[in-house]
Amino acid sequence: MKERDGKITAAKLAELVGGELVGNGDVVLTGVNSLDSASDGDISFLGNKKYAKQVADTAAAAVLVGKDFDTASVSGKTLIVCDNPNGAFAKAVELFAPPPVEYPPGVHPAAVVADSATLGEGVHVGPCAVVEPGASIGDGTVVGAGCYVGHNVEIGANTLIYPNVSIRERCVVGSRVIIHSGTTIGSDGYGFEAGPMGIVKIPQVGIVRIGDDVEIGANCAIDRARFGETHLKQGVKLDNLVHVAHNVVVGEFSMLIGQCGIAGSTKIGRGAIIAAQAGINGHITIGDGAKVAGTAGVVKDVPPGGVVVGTPAEPQRDFMARIILPKTVAKLKAKVEELEKKIADNK
């Protein structure tokens, strides 16, 4: 990726990211890449200590490193020492990123927009998109190709909806939201009742409400509430392939990572992190700032700030103690056998 004018010096980049320059500040940077794939002109970064040896071998023109990196161990390299190499690299990527795709205002001739739908100023509706009666779309919002916007849906301003997203009837999406391709908002929650006549479907009459500044990854499913709302509050970020069931509430600025699933009526607090492939039981509460480790199975409440691991999920300290217990027992067994042998030899 190239910067708008094609280049920037290492000294200038160090200034922009608030880092300390070590080496040649006149090195010209023209792109970004990983340590093992970088070539001359690229800026790279060390985000994990286990890759520290790659800094010496990389062909990158300059490398962003943390303050704990031993700069003396690398000779002849241009380094930018900073508090957070990951964050600094994100700023570098912005410098070299291509310009964003521009979506011209207007409705594509191949789109279908109901007469009673309301479109704000500068709205883009792409080819083969459908906007149903009563829908309302705010100023500057983009509805990509093949999207479906259902009856009486409300979408705020400056929201970006990538191709092939479905937003079903009566759901509400805020402003500055990003929804990636393949996601469905407002699919029916899993409501069924087994009885003598078979499995009976329970109507799901609620909605989904998406707050401002939310980003939802590709191929997510956010189920409508049985009644009331399924609610993703302001600033929530979802990775790809996340499932949020009916009547779930996700607090502000929480992060739900790939393939995790949240069962119905669970409440997730503000700033929580649910890691990849974790499963959260229904009707429980995950407290503010709590962290659920990847693949964990959570079956009971997690307190604010709690960290849980494993299946069934338990506090990290308890999990580690249980994991090392067999090794501890094996060592004790070996010690007992050694002592028994010494006793037998001394008889």
DSSP per-residue string spanning 101-168: PP--SEE-TT-EE-TT-EE-TT-EE-TT-EE-TT-EE-TT-EE-TT-EE-TT-EE-TT-EE-SS-EE-
Nearest to 230 by CA among 256, 258, 257: 256
Evaluate whether residue 3 is within a structural domain.
Answer: no
Residues 155 and 32 in one domain: no
Evaluate whether residue 209 is within a structural domain.
Answer: yes
Overall size of the chain counted in residues: 347
Residues 19 and 136 in one domain: no
Nearest to 204 by CA among 190, 218, 219: 190
Residues 167 and 277 in one domain: yes
Residue 313 to residues 249, 301, 307, 332: CA-CA distances in angstroms?
A: 20, 10, 9, 28
In whole angstroms, what is the distance from residue 186 CA to residue 329 CA?
Answer: 52
In whole angstroms, what is the distance from residue 172 CA to residue 170 CA?
Answer: 7
The pLDDT score that the predictor gives to residue 16 is 94
**CA 97 from centroid of its chain's CA atoms:** 20
The pLDDT score that the predictor gives to residue 317 is 80
Residues 222 and 287 in one domain: yes
- Known catalytic residue at 108: no
Start-to-end C-alpha separation, the chain: 78
pLDDT per residue as tens digits for the range 76-130: 899 999 999 999 999 999 888 888 899 999 999 999 999 999 999 999 999 999 9
Residues 115 and 47 in one domain: no
In whole angstroms, what is the distance from residue 126 CA to residue 218 CA?
Answer: 18
Mean local confidence (pLDDT), 205-209:
98
In whole angstroms, what is the distance from residue 30 CA to residue 156 CA?
Answer: 37
Please say whether the beta carbons of 199 and 220 come within 8 A: no
Burial (0-12, 13-18, 19+ Cβ within 10 Å), 254: buried
Domain count, the chain: 3
The pLDDT score that the predictor gives to residue 328 is 82
- Rg of the Cα atoms in the chain: 27
Number of H-type helices and E-type strands within the chain: 4, 40
Q: What CATH number is associated with residue 186?
A: 2.160.10.10
The pLDDT score that the predictor gives to residue 3 is 40
In which band, very low, low, confident or very high, does the pLDDT at 6 lie, cut at 50, 70 and 90? low
In whole angstroms, what is the distance from residue 210 CA to residue 253 CA?
Answer: 12
Residue 344 pLDDT > 90:
no
Higher-pLDDT residue of 329 and 83 is 83
Cis peptide before 85 (omega within 30 of 0): no
The pLDDT score that the predictor gives to residue 335 is 87
Evaluate whether residue 2 is within a structural domain.
Answer: no
Residues 35 and 45 in one domain: yes
- In the chain, how long is the greatest CA-to-CA distance? 101
Evaluate whether residue 306 is within a structural domain.
Answer: yes
Residues 84 and 134 in one domain: no
Q: Look at residues 96, 118, 145 and tell me which one is the last residue of a structural domain.
A: 96
pLDDT per residue as tens digits for the range 282-315: 999 999 999 999 999 999 999 999 999 999 898 8
The pLDDT score that the predictor gives to residue 319 is 78
pLDDT per residue as tens digits for the range 221-277: 999 999 999 999 999 999 999 999 999 999 999 999 999 999 999 999 999 999 999
Q: What CATH number is associated with residue 34?
A: 3.40.1390.10
Evaluate whether residue 254 is within a structural domain.
Answer: yes
In whole angstroms, what is the distance from residue 42 CA to residue 59 CA?
Answer: 8
Average confidence score pLDDT of the chain: 94
Say which of 108, 151, 246, 283 is annotated catalytic. 246
Residues 151 and 269 in one domain: yes
Domain residue limits at 321: 317-347
Evaluate whether residue 1 is within a structural domain.
Answer: no
Residue 14's region, left for phi above 0, alpha for psi from -120 to 50, else beta, is: alpha
Q: Look at residues 96, 118, 136 and tell me which one is the last residue of a structural domain.
A: 96
Residue 320 pLDDT > 80:
no
pLDDT per residue as tens digits for the range 24-58: 999 999 999 999 999 999 999 998 889 999 999 99
Residues 198 and 254 in one domain: yes
Evaluate whether residue 101 is within a structural domain.
Answer: no
Secondary structure of residue 94 in the 3-state scheme: helix
Residues 213 and 298 in one domain: yes
Residues 300 and 337 in one domain: no
Mean local confidence (pLDDT), 131-143:
98
Residues 282 and 159 in one domain: yes
Q: State the Cα angle at 60 between 55 and 64, rounded to 5°.
A: 60
Q: Look at residues 96, 126, 153 and tell me which one is the last residue of a structural domain.
A: 96
Evaluate whether residue 245 is within a structural domain.
Answer: yes
- Which residue in the block uniquely carries the two structure tokens 């094609």? 6
